[in-house]
Amino acid sequence: MTYQFDATKPIAIGCDHAGFEYKTALISWLQNKGYTVLDFGTNGTASVDYPDFAHPTASAVEKGEAAFGILLCGSANGVAITANKHQGIRAGLCWQNDVAQLIRMHNNANMICIPARFVALPLAQQMIDIFMNTPFEGGRHANRVGKIACN
């Protein structure tokens, strides 16, 4: 059940209006590091409905079109709730480095949700780096993760 990020696949990213500026900066940052990014919008700061962007981002991860996903909104709660409606998604809301590490180690998360109104951009970048480079521990956590799906 261990989820390994496939470095040959792109990274999916999506946001609402509150996360647009961070999304733009993160795409450039990731591309400068050599990653390919699938941008699912939004493409501006005009008010939008976050599910319209969280669902396609989560679908790309769920279908295996992306190695993992990044979602941003004001609190990150809305995008996390939306993404977690997808059976193959384990999206974790992160606001500090330790949480980014634990959602990978203990929850085998395949999406990271970042509250753009509550964390600085450098912290968001650190959390993504940690998320990308932390393996799932497996062991006792694999049994728990195996019980998450409703089917």
Of the pLDDT bands very low, low, confident and very high (cuts 50, 70, 90), residue 2 is very low
The residue annotated as part of the active site, out of 73, 86, 94, 113, is 73
Per-residue pLDDT at 75: 98
73 is catalytic: yes
Residue 91 — left, alpha, or beta (φ > 0 → left; ψ -120 to 50 → alpha)? beta
Model confidence pLDDT, tens digit, residues 69-126: 999 999 999 999 999 999 999 999 999 999 999 999 999 999 999 999 999 999 999 9
Q: Return the structure tokens found at 63.
A: 């279908």
pLDDT at 21 over 90: yes
17 is catalytic: no
By C-alpha distance, which of 128, 69, 74 is closest to 97?
A: 128
Domain ranges (residues) in the chain: 11-146
Mean pLDDT of 126-137: 93
Of the pLDDT bands very low, low, confident and very high (cuts 50, 70, 90), residue 1 is very low
In sequence order, what are the residues at sequence separation of 6 or more whose Cβ sits closer than 8 angstroms to the Cβ of residue 108? 1, 2, 3, 90, 136, 141, 142, 145
Count CB atoms within 10 A of the CB of residue 115.
21
**11-146 domain in CATH 3.40.1400.10?**
yes
Q: Between these two residues, 75 and 146, which has the higher pLDDT value?
A: 75
Residue 72 · residue 22 · CB < 8 Å: yes
Q: Between these two residues, 57 and 144, which has the higher pLDDT value?
A: 57
The whole model's pTM is what? 0.94
